[in-house]
């Protein structure tokens, strides 16, 4: 079974993801988020189309150079996802699947959703996931067993149901949806309003999914995405070129790439992903973390439940529940605090509004090439923009953006 078009929306990062950049190009288990998606759905379609922003176009084309993909550059974004779809409308004349470029889940359910939609004789298919606690996004309003509406970002107490719209939609005739988008007035929720309007004319099949799921909206969601990949998709493997000192300990599911070096009395507790050419010094502990290629974990470090991008450099540091972007370095003795003594969840400002991360442990989010001096420390939930310099001994209590 093949459909005509898969449209992947991989536009801008948005202010909510700051200070991190290019979320669809973050690497998990050795591949970018976008590569994982493309590999999973490439055999499902006659043509694959990726919508990107002008800023990310070159990087995304390079990332997907091994795949047959058509590209569309999105020039307007006031209407959110709707503008991305309209930018690619020339490809949406037959049946199509529209999906986000920053979501991960069991992609085998896409084929099942399309098959179920066709079997039920409906015009649209939608994947929804039951969630207890509120997550910003759209929610399904049902009328009996039928999907009646997508309500975008309702007040948490007024959600029409606990079924979250996963933004993966199949259209038997996508041109009808494009026409509906063009018919409605401009707004950030134009996509959802147009979909809801089409529901008044056409029937939709709802596939209720209860498996693993991760998405990237806020910067700290990198940690949840990491957990998803480490739990669901990590392959236990240690390359033959890796050198592990006889006193080092490797426990659980651990992947190690080429030319990794692990020093004396170090311990790696899985699940962990260690990329190519990583050096782990003596007496260091790494657990439930990603350490990308060419990073140096010097002696006496602890890295716990954290994501370290390419070329991170540490020496005698504690990094807990944190995201360190490419090229970040920490001087000896610098640490990230990740826990409030009152045991409350950690809140952090986003676009001037204090947002609850829902995390009991949450350390530092550091943009590219941040430099942190010796014996410096950061409060829980602090975010540092790219190229920030923290002087030795500083205590960073709030964001530097």
Maximum Cα–Cα distance for the chain, whole Å? 68
**139 contact partners, CB below 8 Å, separation of at least 6:** 150, 151, 154, 159, 160, 161, 162, 163, 164, 165
User: What is the helix (H) or strand (E) element at residue 197, kind and residue range?
Assistant: helix 190-199
Task: Measure Cα distances from 93 to 5, 89, 90, 152, 204 in Å.
Answer: 9, 7, 7, 26, 19
Please check the confidence at residue 294 and state whether its pLDDT lies above 70.
Answer: yes
Confidence of residue 50 (pLDDT cuts 50, 70, 90): very high
pLDDT digits (tens, 9 = 90+) for 340-357: 999 999 999 998 999 999
Secondary structure (3-state) at 396: strand
**Confidence at residue 87, expressed as pLDDT on a 0 to 100 scale:** 95
Measure the CA–CA gap between 9 and 249, rounded to whole angstroms.
42
Confidence of residue 186 (pLDDT cuts 50, 70, 90): confident
Please check the confidence at residue 80 and state whether its pLDDT lies above 90.
Answer: no
Could you tell me the domains of the chain?
3-217 (3.90.550.10), 232-396 (2.160.10.10)
Residue 313 and residue 299 in contact, taking contact as beta carbons nearer than 8 Å: no
Pick from 343, 340, 380: nearest CA to 362: 380
- CB atoms inside a 10 Å sphere around CB 173: 16
Per DSSP (E only), the strands in 154-310 are 163-171, 204-209, 213-215, 237-238, 243-244, 249-251, 254-256, 261-262, 267-269, 272-274, 279-280, 285-287, 290-291, 296-297, 302-304, 307-308
Measure the CA–CA gap between 127 and 164, rounded to whole angstroms.
9
pLDDT digits (tens, 9 = 90+) for 7-42: 999 987 678 999 999 999 999 999 999 999 999 999
Residue 317 and residue 295 in contact, taking contact as beta carbons nearer than 8 Å: no
Measure the CA–CA gap between 129 and 124, rounded to whole angstroms.
17
**Confidence at residue 11, expressed as pLDDT on a 0 to 100 scale:** 83
Mean pLDDT of 247-263: 98
Whole-model pTM: value is 0.95
**173 — alpha (psi -120 to 50), left (phi > 0) or beta?**
beta
């Amino acid at each position: 079974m093949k459909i005509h078009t898969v449209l992947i929306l991989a536009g801008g990062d948005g202010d909510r993801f700051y200070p991190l950049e290019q979320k669809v190009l973050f690497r998990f288990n050795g591949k970018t988020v976008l590569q994982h998606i493309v590999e999973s759905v490439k055999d499902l379609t006659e043509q694959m189309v990726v919508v990107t922003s002008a800023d990310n176009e070159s990087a995304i084309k390079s990332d997907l150079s091994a795949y047959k993909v058509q590209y569309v550059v999105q020039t307007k974004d006031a209407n959110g996802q709707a503008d991305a779809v309209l930018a690619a409308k020339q490809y949406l004349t037959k049946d199509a699947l529209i999906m986000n470029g920053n979501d991960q889940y069991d992609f085998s359910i896409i084929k099942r959703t399309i098959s179920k939609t066709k079997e039920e004789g409906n015009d649209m298919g939608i994947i929804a996931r039951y969630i207890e606690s509120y997550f910003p996004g759209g929610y399904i309003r049902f009328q009996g067993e039928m999907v009646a509406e997508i309500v975008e970002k309702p007040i948490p107490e007024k959600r029409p149901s606990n079924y979250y719209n996963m933004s993966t939609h199949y259209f038997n005739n996508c041109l009808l949806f494009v026409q509906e988008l063009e018919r409605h007035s401009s707004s950030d929720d134009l996509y959802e309003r147009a979909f809801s309007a089409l529901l008044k004319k056409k029937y939709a099949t709802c596939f209720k999914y209860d498996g693993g799921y991760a998405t990237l909206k806020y910067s700290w969601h990198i940690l949840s995405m990491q957990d998803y990949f480490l739990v669901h998709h990590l392959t236990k493997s240690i390359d033959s070129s890796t050198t592990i000192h006889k006193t080092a300990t490797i426990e659980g599911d651990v992947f190690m790439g080429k030319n990794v070096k692990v020093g004396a009395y170090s311990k790696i507790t899985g699940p962990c992903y260690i990329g190519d050419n990583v050096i782990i010094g003596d007496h260091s502990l790494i657990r439930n973390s990603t350490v990308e290629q060419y990073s140096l974990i010097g002696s006496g470090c602890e890295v716990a439940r954290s994501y370290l991008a390419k070329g991170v450099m540490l020496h005698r540091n504690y990094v807990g529940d944190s995201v360190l972007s490419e090229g970040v370095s920490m001087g000896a003795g610098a640490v990230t605090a990740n826990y409030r003594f009152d045991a409350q969840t950690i809140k952090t400002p986003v676009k001037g509004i204090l947002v609850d991360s829902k995390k009991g442990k949450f350390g530092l989010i550091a943009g590219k090439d941040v430099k942190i001096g010796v014996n410096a420390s950061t409060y829980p939930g602090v975010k540092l923009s790219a190229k920030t310099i923290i002087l030795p001994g500083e205590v960073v209590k709030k964001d530097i953006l």
